[in-house]
Structure formats: C-alpha cells, structure tokens
A and B are shown apart, each in its own frame.
Chain A
Amino acid sequence: MHELSVCIALMQQVERIAQEHDAGRVERIVLQVGPLSGVEAPLLEHAWPLAAAGTLAEAAELVIENAAVKVECTQCGAVSEVAPNRLLCASCGDFRTRLVSGDEMLLASLELSQMNSQPVQQQCV
C-alpha cells in the first residue's frame, strides 16, 4: 500500500502548481493511471482525502482515467490491446513488443480557481 505515499507526493505537486498560478482553490484533478503503473486507482481514491485534508485541494474532485495496456510488436509492427501479464503480440505472438500505453502514472491536468479576479497571464508549467 504505497498509494498514500503517491498521494502525498501528488499533493505537494498540486500545491506547487496552484501557487505558481496564484490559485486559491483546486477544483478538479485529473490523473492517468495504467494497470502496469503499480498503482491501484481505488486505493488512490481512498488515500486521497488523507493527503488533501486541510489543503487548498480539500474539496477537489479527483478523476482517475484508466489507460488500456497496448503493445507494439517490434517484429511485425502490429499494435494490440493485451492483458497486463501477457504482453505478447496478438498478431504474430512474438514477445519482443514495446509497451505504448498502460504504465502511465501521471498528473494529467488541474482546474484551478483564482484568489482574485485578475486574469492569470502566467503560462502553465
């Protein structure tokens, strides 16, 4: 259960970005988590309130997008959607494939509310 560690790291990241944008509140946090990331979405959702309590992201909606596991065959070039523990090419069966999706563990985007009505000129990180 390392998801709490991940949430605490995420919280630090979110606070830093919110500060850079002069935001008063974080409204929405979108994550991307693939089955091969080593992180479980339901566990993240459970751990999140502990990390967010008392912060400017306390009331934020946490959205976790799942990514399918896809491999590209280095032998025949086919791209197939596969099971996390069977990364073989669905077309030719070769094991020499390259993962193109499914190990994502990303903070994809944030929605922020401003402290004041001044439009923010600063570009995103």
Chain B
Amino acid sequence: MCDTCGCNITPGNEHLVRGDGRLVKTDEGREAVTVLQSLLSENDHQAAHNRTHFDRHGVLAVNLMSSPGAGKTALLEATIEALGAAYRIAVIEGDLETENDAERIRARGVEAIQIATGSACHLDAHMVHTALHQLDLDPVDILFIENVGNLVCPASFDLGQHRNITLLSVPEGDDKPAKYPVMFRAADLVLLTKTDLLPYLTDFRPERAERYLRELASESPMLSLSSSSGESMEDWLTWLRSEVAAQRERIRQGATLRPAIQPDGIRLHSDASAGHAHTHGHQHAHGVAHAPGGEG
C-alpha cells in the first residue's frame, strides 16, 4: 500500500498538497500534516497479509457478497456437489448469529469456519485472519468467504480475497445494480441466481439487470444460474475452473491479484512495492508505474 510517498494524489485531492507542501505551520502555530491515507489502511494492511497467506498456500480466495437470502450458501452447496471431487474446497461463513450455514456446508463434507459477527454488518480482514487460524490451508484449492448478507457494507472491506462475486437473485428485482452501485462496481463477476423463478417473476428482465450493471462502467461478466434446479451451472463452473488455473499461474510467476475496485484500490495500491521502497516524507512523481490518472 502506497500510503506514504504522495503517489496517492488524485485529481480530486491534489489541491491539498500544492503550495506550501506537505508540512506547514498554520497561523495559530499548529502543524498541518498532509496524510492522504485510505481510511481503511489498517484493514488494507491486514488484507494484504491475508492475501500473501493465501498465495503462499496456493489458494484461490473468493468473496461472495449479496443481500440476505440471494442464495450464497445454496450456490456453495451446488458448487461443492459439482466440483468437490476435483478441487479441495473450504468455506468461511459470515453471519450475525448461528452456525446454520457452516453446518449446511459441513454436511457436504467440506470444512467450514463460522464467523458470528454479532452486530457487525460485514466481515473485515481481521475477522478473516482470526478464522484462518482455525483452518489448515495446505490442502485447500479454493477458499470461499461467504460475507454477511448485505448489499452495502461488505463492498468497502478488502479481506485479502482475489475475486469478488456479487449475487443478484431474481426475486430481488432487476434494478439492484442501479440501487447499490458501490456493491455492484466491486464485482469481478455478477451471478444472476434463482433463474428457475423467471417464468413466475415476469417483471424481472435479465437484460435490464445487465444494462444497469453496464451503466456502472462495469465490464464484469454476468452469468445466470439456478442452484436448486441446476440449470446453467456449467458457465459458472467454467469460470471458477479458469480462475483456479489463473491463480496457479500467478503463483508460479510470483504475482497476485486484488479483486475489482475497493475504494481507491487500484489508484492507491497499484504501485505498492515502489511506495514502500521510498524514503518517507517527500513528494515526487512515480512516472508510468501508476494507473492512468493516478498522478497529482
């Protein structure tokens, strides 16, 4: 994370560091310090640690987000059924209360760690790290993190995963991407679930859901499936297989991957290694290493 050297200056905040520079005295003799750190830099730091941990163990970590009841656990059950023989799967479950979801996963013969968040509406990187202490990652190919059912808060917290998947179930209505832009912008893949209900819920138009997604400037794929009827599962399984292969290739090359946009993610963190190598306290250009537009 390059929080320290000035490379996180964007067109939106560059005025803060013009003129008097990064360390000035105000009229009242106060010291003004320009920081420009992500508000979640503590979480982001832990998330980076988690991601290193996943990479070291050869694990693909996938974060599932949706509203409550969109079918995250049912998707996992169907996926375990289809791929449980080919891949070693583990699951971290996030809910406010109960072990219900973890028990459903364990009933399929897959290890599941339940995080009961109490009143917290999202998982954060520290909670996931604590759960990882209970999990032996060595024999795992895919770790699914089933986030708390919530279309708002989970989008803001990097957990260390490689991919974000947002589920949109047919009963919710096709305009969810327009209503929850932060969540749907964070998706590397949008899964339209419960498509077996489309004949009954005729107001829902899959093409309209996709149009709302594109209006968020998202080029992420949108796939449809029904976990209960099993229809169209193959596209999703193909996506997952290709992600496992891509993760293995990244590990072979010593590379890693952050999921689709976390707030300020790409812009702030695309030059992470360079940022840490610099002496703190001065401001300078980084040249072409930044995502376009990241320069002040």
Q: Which residues of A contact B (CB under 8 A)?
A: 1-2, 5-6, 9-10, 12-13, 17, 21, 23, 27-28, 30-32, 34, 36-39, 67-68, 70-72, 84-88, 95-114, 120, 123-125
- Across the interface, do A105 and B31 meet the contact criterion of CB distance under 8 Å? no
On whether A105 and B23 interact (CB within 8 A), knowing A31-B39, A124-B281, the answer reads: no
- Across the interface, do B214 and A9 meet the contact criterion of CB distance under 8 Å? no
Q: Provide the bound-state CA to CA distance between A71 and B37, in Å.
A: 22
Q: Provide the bound-state CA to CA distance between A125 and B6, in Å.
A: 10
Q: Provide the bound-state CA to CA distance between A113 and B216, in Å.
A: 43
Knowing that A99-B261, A124-B281 are A-B contacts, what are 20 other residue pairs whose CB atoms are under 8 Å apart, sorted by A's residue number? Answer: A1-B121, A27-B30, A30-B16, A38-B156, A38-B182, A67-B12, A71-B217, A72-B293, A85-B177, A85-B215, A85-B216, A103-B261, A104-B10, A105-B40, A106-B35, A111-B31, A123-B280, A123-B281, A124-B23, A125-B37
B52 to chain A, nearest CB (A): 20
Tell me which of A101, A104, A109 contacts B35 (CB under 8 A).
A109
On whether A99 and B217 interact (CB within 8 A), knowing A85-B181, A109-B32, A125-B281, the answer reads: yes
By size class, the interface of chain B is: 35 or more
The interface centre, meaning the residue of B34, B122, B124, B179 with most chain A CB atoms within 10 A of its CB, is B34
- Across the interface, do A98 and B39 meet the contact criterion of CB distance under 8 Å? no
Tell me which of B11, B32, B215 contacts A111 (CB under 8 A).
B32
> CB of B8 within 8 A of chain A?
yes
Closest to A4 in B: B120
- Across the interface, do B215 and A88 meet the contact criterion of CB distance under 8 Å? yes
- Across the interface, do A98 and B36 meet the contact criterion of CB distance under 8 Å? no
Q: Which residues of B contact A (CB under 8 A)?
A: 3-4, 8, 10-13, 16, 22-23, 26, 28-43, 120-122, 124, 152-153, 155-157, 177-179, 181-182, 185, 212, 214-219, 261, 263-264, 280-282, 292-293
- Across the interface, do B22 and A124 meet the contact criterion of CB distance under 8 Å? yes
Label chain A's interface by main secondary structure: mixed
5 A-B pairs with least C-beta separation: A123-B281, A38-B156, A87-B217, A2-B153, A101-B12
Residues of chain B within 8 A (CB-CB) of A95 are: 214-215, 217-218
Q: Provide the bound-state CA to CA distance between A15 and B121, in Å.
A: 26
Q: Provide the bound-state CA to CA distance between A50 and B42, in Å.
A: 19
Closest to B124 in A: A5
Residues of chain B within 8 A (CB-CB) of A109 are: 16, 32-36
- Across the interface, do A108 and B16 meet the contact criterion of CB distance under 8 Å? yes
Tell me which of B13, B35, B218 contacts A110 (CB under 8 A).
B35
A71 to chain B, nearest CB (A): 6
Residues of chain A within 8 A (CB-CB) of B152 are: 2, 38
- Across the interface, do B35 and A105 meet the contact criterion of CB distance under 8 Å? no
Tell me which of B26, B38, B157 contacts A106 (CB under 8 A).
B38
Residues of chain A within 8 A (CB-CB) of B42 are: 9, 12-13
- Across the interface, do A1 and B217 meet the contact criterion of CB distance under 8 Å? no
The interface centre, meaning the residue of B120, B156, B280 with most chain A CB atoms within 10 A of its CB, is B156
On whether A104 and B13 interact (CB within 8 A), knowing A38-B152, A86-B215, A109-B34, the answer reads: yes
Residues of chain A within 8 A (CB-CB) of B120 are: 2, 5
Residues of chain A within 8 A (CB-CB) of B8 are: 106
On whether A104 and B12 interact (CB within 8 A), knowing A36-B182, A124-B34, the answer reads: yes
The interface centre, meaning the residue of B8, B10, B12, B13 with most chain A CB atoms within 10 A of its CB, is B12
- Across the interface, do A108 and B217 meet the contact criterion of CB distance under 8 Å? no
On whether A125 and B4 interact (CB within 8 A), knowing A38-B263, A105-B40, the answer reads: yes
The interface centre, meaning the residue of A84, A102, A125 with most chain B CB atoms within 10 A of its CB, is A125
Residues of chain B within 8 A (CB-CB) of A21 are: 31, 33
- Across the interface, do B30 and A9 meet the contact criterion of CB distance under 8 Å? no
On whether A96 and B217 interact (CB within 8 A), knowing A38-B156, A38-B263, A105-B264, the answer reads: yes
